[in-house]
A and B are shown apart, each in its own frame.
Chain A
Amino acid sequence: MKFSLGANQYYWPKQKTADFYQQAAQSNADIIYLGETVCSKRRELRQPQWLELARELAKSNKQVVLSTMALLEAPSEVSLLKKYCDNGEFIIEANDVGAIELCHQNKVEFVCGQAINAYNSPALKSLLKLGMQRWVTPVELSKDLISAILTEMDGFNLRDKFEVETQAYGHLPLAYSARCFTARSENRSKDDCELCCIKYPSGRTADSQDDKQLFVLNGIQTMSGYCYDLRNDLASMKGLIDIIRISPQAEETFSILNSFIEQYQQPTFKKLADNHSNGYWHQIAGMLSA
Chain B
Amino acid sequence: MELLCPAGSLPAVKAALEHGADAIFIGMNNETNARHFTGLNFNDKRIQQAANLIQQQNKDLHIAINTFAKPGEFAAWQYAVDKAVDIGAKALIIADMAVLDYASEKYPDAEIHLSVQASATNKAAIDFYRNNFNVSRVVLPRVLSLQQVKQLSRQTDIELEVFAFGSLCIMAEGRCYLSSYLTGESPNTVGACSPAKFVEWEQTEQGLESRLNNIVIDRYKDDENAGYPTLCKGKFKVDDNLYHALEEPTSLNTIDIIPELAKANIASVKIEGRQRSPAYVATVTRLWRKAIDSYYQDPENFRADPAWMRELGNISEGSQTTLGAYHRDWQ
Residues of A bordering B, CB below 8 Å: 70-75, 77-78, 81-82, 96-102, 115, 117-123, 125-127, 130, 138-140, 145, 148-149, 151-152, 172, 174-181, 184-185, 189-191, 204-212, 214-215, 217, 222, 224, 279-280, 283-288
Contact = CB atoms under 8 A, between A and B. Distances in A.
27 contacts: A72-B121, A75-B151, A96-B124, A97-B128, A101-B127, A115-B175, A117-B95, A117-B97, A117-B175, A126-B101, A140-B177, A145-B70, A172-B177, A175-B172, A177-B170, A177-B172, A178-B170, A179-B330, A185-B241, A189-B331, A191-B328, A207-B237, A207-B238, A209-B237, A214-B182, A222-B246, A284-B184
Contact of B131 (A82, A101, A117): A101
A286 B325 contact: no
A223 B235 CA distance: 17
B68 A119 contact: yes
Residues of B contacting A: mostly: mixed
Given A179-B247, A185-B241, 14 more contacts: A75-B123, A96-B124, A118-B97, A123-B96, A123-B101, A130-B132, A172-B177, A174-B176, A178-B145, A178-B330, A206-B245, A285-B183, A285-B184, A286-B181
B96 A71 contact: no
Given A140-B189, A209-B219, A215-B236, A175 B132 contact: no
A171 to B, nearest CB: 11
Contact of A208 (B217, B246, B247, B328): B217
B160 to A, nearest CB: 14
Contacts of A210: 216
B72 interface: yes
A286 B236 contact: no
B205 to A, nearest CB: 12
A77 B145 CA distance: 14
A122 B69 contact: yes
B143 A73 contact: yes
B113 to A, nearest CB: 16
B143 to A, nearest CB: 4
Nearest to B99: A122
A179 B323 CA distance: 13
Contact of A97 (B129, B213, B232): B129
Interface in B123-169: 123-125, 127-129, 131-132, 142-145, 148, 151, 155
B191 interface: no
A121 B68 CA distance: 11
B246 to A, nearest CB: 6
Contacts, number: 224
Nearest to A77: B122
Contacts of B49: none
Given A209-B235, A285-B183, A98 B128 contact: yes
What are the 6 A-B residue pairs with the smallest beta carbon separation, nearest first? A98-B124, A122-B98, A178-B325, A101-B128, A148-B71, A286-B181
B148 A214 contact: no
Q: What interface size band does chain B fall in?
A: 35 or more
B242 interface: yes
Most B-side CB within 10 Å, residue of A117, A145, A189: A117
Contacts of A190: 328, 331
B331 A178 contact: yes
B74 interface: yes
Interface string B62-96: 00000011111010000000000000000000011
Nearest to A100: B128
A54 to B, nearest CB: 22
B178 interface: yes
Contact of B236 (A75, A180, A206): A206
Contact of B71 (A82, A117, A120, A280): A120
Given A119-B70, A120-B70, A148-B71, A96 B236 contact: no
Contact of B69 (A98, A120, A215): A120
B320 interface: no
Given A140-B180, A179-B330, A205-B238, A122 B97 contact: yes
Nearest to A96: B125
B180 A285 contact: yes
Contacts of A204: 238-239
Contact of B213 (A119, A179, A285): A285
Nearest to A183: B331
Nearest to B78: A122
A211 B181 CA distance: 17
Interface string B308-326: 0000000000000000110
